Amino acid sequence: MFKNFSPQALGINGRQSELIELSLTYAFRGMDVDLLDMLRRSQRTSVEDATKYLRAADIKIGGFELDIDLDADDDAFTAQVGTLHPLTELAAELQVERAYLRVPSGTDRLPYPEYFEVQRSRLDQIAGVLAAKDIRLAVGFSACPTGDEVQFPFVRDVEGFMALISATTADNIGYLLDTFDWIIGGGAMDQITEIPGSKIVAVRLSSLSDSVDASTAKPTDRVLPEKQGLLDLVALVKHLDSSEFDGPIGPAASTANYKGQTRESIVQAGQEAVDAILSDAGLHVAPRPMDLIEDIPYEPTPSI
């Protein structure tokens, strides 16, 4: 596995060069990218110009979010899948291996059993397009109510989530394992150990605020990962390591809990939280470049 910086998971925006600098400064080996934005810029200028900062940086691309509405009507969904082809071409050129997508937590379209089959089929269809460029589809779910009034609830718990992933047939579909949603969705460590490491595509580490009950949690109650809590994150990382999980792992949090803080302070706090968990799990943690500089002994300039 490799430590990965996802700006979206931390609610951080910025120019590509700024985000790369944050990632490198805080010793992340990988970074998620806005591939759709890069595609648009490459169409206005060139691929070389749109990706020049990524190519210059010694950093691995963790993955990218898919801009696909799984609850769209059939015509709109088909059109959205059609836009994947140029996107996957660019992804292949940049050697991107993972795409992220979350299933709807509810719908006004169909009851659960029928909608389950729609979602299973759509995930397989998307995965088929991605597979042509050797890209894996990391699927996640949202356990917290969104506040939107819908007629039919869909996947909001771990049991339903695991059932949906198990029902898909594409080999390149796996889990976007988000520990916050796992906790809120009633999941436990023993369910994670049932999942082969090869089926976990990406991991987001975060925790539930201590003052909040899981049954009433909201997305804004997501805080940076803590070692202990409703899910033992150190034990989780140990399991991932033993199961030979080789994907990105990084921090996630709601910006509602870090108002007034700078981007740098949020990324640093996320890096320190993840590093503490990785270290306690017995994994090597790469030092930040600034720490390496500080470790160089001071040698006064000799007087002439």
**88 occurs within a structural domain:** yes
**147 occurs within a structural domain:** yes
Q: What is the mean pLDDT of residues 7-29?
A: 94
**39 occurs within a structural domain:** yes
**Which residue range is the domain that position 69 belongs to?**
2-292
Contacts of 147-151 spanning 24+ positions with Cβ under 8 A: 148/106, 150/106, 150/107, 150/108, 151/106, 151/107, 151/108
Max avg pLDDT among 119-123, 143-147, 225-229: 119-123
Q: What is the DSSP string of 130-175?
A: HHTTT-EEEEE---S--S---SEE---SHHHHHHHHHH---TTEEE
**264 occurs within a structural domain:** yes
**304 occurs within a structural domain:** no
DSSP 64: E
pLDDT digits (tens, 9 = 90+) for 142-163: 998 776 778 999 999 999 999 9
**299 occurs within a structural domain:** no
Residue 295's pLDDT is what? 45
**167 occurs within a structural domain:** yes
Residue 299's pLDDT is what? 43
- Cα distance from N-terminal residue to C-terminal residue, the chain: 51
pLDDT digits (tens, 9 = 90+) for 31-57: 999 999 999 999 999 999 999 999 888
- Measured CA to CA in angstroms, residue 240 lies from 37, 61, 296 at distances of 32, 20, 34
Strand residue runs (E) in the chain: 2-5, 30-31, 60-61, 64-65, 98-102, 106-107, 136-140, 152-153, 173-178, 200-205, 207-208, 222-223, 248-251
Question: Is the predicted pLDDT of residue 122 greater than 70, yes or no?
Answer: yes
**298 occurs within a structural domain:** no
**Residue 290: which pLDDT band, with cuts at 50, 70 and 90?**
low
Domain total of the chain: 1
CATH number of the domain enclosing 95: 3.20.20.150
pLDDT digits (tens, 9 = 90+) for 162-201: 999 999 999 999 999 999 999 999 999 999 999 999 999 9
